[in-house]
Structure 1
Amino acid sequence: MAHTIVLFTQDLRLHDHPALHAASREGETVLPVFVLDPALLRRSARNRVRALLDILNDLRDGLRSLGGDLVVRHGDTVTEVAALARETGADTVHVTEGVTRTATNRAERLREAGLRVVSHPGLTVVPPGDVTPASGDHYKVFTPYLRAWEAHPWRSVLPEPDEVRSPEGVDPGKIPARLDEGRGSLAERPLAMGETAARQRLCSWLDSGLAHYADRHDDLPAGATSHLSADLRFGCLSPLEAAVLARDEPGGAEFVRQLAWRDFHHQVTAAFPDMGIRDYRPRDTRWRDDPAALKAWKEGRTGVPIVDAGMRQLLREGFMHNRTRMITAAFLTRTLGVHWRAGAEHFADHLLDGDVANNNGNWQWVAGTGNDTRPNRAFNPLRQARRFDPEGVYVRRYVPELAELPGRAAHTPWDSLLGPDDYPPPIASPGS
């Protein structure tokens, strides 16, 4: 009997899963596998490690309802998959293709172990490399990429399998109740995670949030974004399915544009896998080594309310509104002059939706070393605050020292007439 392995990575779902779909057609039985790799867990945020366990339990429940199971192992991914292949006689591994060095190296090592590796789309709407400019291997500017992305035909969304038959006699392994690996602090209120919860969020978003997205996605007090970023990061949702369901609905065009941005950063990272350690476009910037300023920024104690609110939201929730991600990143890199890598690492250590391509791509964009065509653009945090949090509601929500300040005064507490004693003066002038 032929057995085929499906290695789950950042595609922890059953709906629209090309690798699982292909394996189900190719092999008489399918062995769905996830490996808890200590090398990866140690580098991950504790928020993501905690969420992963709930996601795996949900995925196992879903596979069991289809007649299969999720085999969970703990160790080096390639070593564990190769051992399962020897145990079951499988010679083929189906996997969703990633864009990071980790994904590329994993696939190469699986081949070196004598396994046939079949890669599939599923991480993005349009796979990296499917649209390329005539002059190079990837798009370096978003607008022309968007035009090509919109013109490119999308593959069909695949349904959940009717059945997954797994081989008998294979120990499925236990999903631990907790793992101690990971970096950063834990959010106070964890988000329910897994494909079941993700699809519920998607349905709610399409029904009651999407129509207002174009007008309200930068409204900081409302928080009127989809809150699907973590679901997309873990692959609990298919970005293609989300795009297909949203594109023809009111508000859908702007939301789908954000999915195109996500795809854009993935195709850049696929072509430039050093995105997290090297400047995409070197600017010879002289970065400052300022541990005290970096610490104040990380703790949300800079004395600039909109910056501190964003940083405290990150620590409290493992999430930050996209607008304040840009504001806080600009303050660290442009106002304080601290290297973008320090900020990207802090975000990666705490964000539930922390993703290599999007996190580093956005940080480099803000810092002027990435894909922004205006690397010296002004990004004044006070003007941003007055525009997107005009009454200081967002600031007062996350900075309790300022909770009693009236309205717009929450944006200028360093004024001696307004500043409370327990809130610090600004560590740098944010402009006016």
Structure 2
Amino acid sequence: MPSTDIESYLDHSHLTAADFTAFEQLLAAQRDRRPYTDSDWHLVLSSTGRGGDGRWESTYALFRPGGAFGNPAPDDEAYVRVYFDENGRALPDQPHRPAPVPPFAAELAEHLPGWTVRPSPLAPGRDLAELRSQAWGWGRLPWNTASAPHTALTLTGPNGERLLAVRTGADAPLLVGAARPDNVPAYNPRAVHLPAPVTFPAGAPPAALAAELTTTLGPRCQQAAWQTRASAATHAVEALRRLSTAYIPAPGDPWGHGEIGSFDSQEDRNRAAWPYTETLIDQGLYLVAGIRSAATIEDHLDPAIGPDLRHLNVSETALDRLREVRDGWRDAAASIIGSHPAADRVRMRAEDLRNAEAWACSSRIADGPLTALAKHVAPKIGFPAPDREEQVKAAIARSANVLGQSTPVPVPVSAPLRPDGRHSTR
């Protein structure tokens, strides 16, 4: 199967009509549970998705060059992914061409300063499957991988919020809902509240639509993305903390146990930790940026939160190092050719080195304030940041009240703030 880190699929432009005929025949044989082999291709797996009402939505299959009796592919991770319609006909990928911008989309963009409005390609197969994967918490979708909607737009806001707008017909209402943000993990429906798609009449003025998106739907999408990222990071941190208590026997001392059991070696423990470390790599920098943006002057002056904010740079530095470790490992893995035993040993050694360095960095994040700060600022995500001068005034007033002072200590509100939340003296 393709690697979970880097998936490589063959380009459909290199395939012939005979190849697609073979794909259809192999899939049909699997559906009918009858034997069928092809000298050029081998069916690895197939998947058919259906909605809650049993209606067909999508079918795809992975094929490997070489066939059941042919020579194996030179690269064991070279596969071709093919989508099929409900009747089992292959849907070859088409070259991406710039989708035309509907007049409505151009007018909507004028009322959304700072946003991008991009039409989505709607070719049957991969394009429509990708469009389906973007819909976040929509429930039943008004299109499938073989039947496209009339129009689809992806709207991206200045704060990372993403929306998907779909119109099934030329005069149909516009359906707008959340679009899955980049690198967002799978979410727990009980912990994340995704906004339901909103339907706008066909003649809704773009200005009214833009106002609804920027004041209601967009902020709700930001909150849902934050909940998802914070939940994933918290789960990863908790798992890393548990792994840190696992028992690893010293040489000559094979007995003992930890809170979560034992590992035969540090390499085994580090290997178990890597998936959680990758979650931190993917989500951590989003959380750091959000915390810095949402934290107020009061937070920096608060003795319960301020020290954590001043130590956030430790987590940020560790996250940057983890990205370097992963990028370096990927470059090294790409240079290892073949699947013979010697190459496999080199890959395993490279992974062990990656895991060892990653463990040291990830433990600093697990022991740091990242997830606690993410929880603290969560209620502020999606709302406009208060005016900086007003933040300073409010913080000084509260400090004066706590100290029992009759008048606040004068501090120039125009003084710039350093990253640790203190005022610069210049």
TM-score normalised by L of structure 1: 0.26
More strand by share: 2
- Larger RCO, structures 1/2 (Cα 8 Å, 6+ apart): 1
TM-score normalised by L of structure 2: 0.26
Query: Larger Cα Rg: Structure 1 or Structure 2?
Result: 2
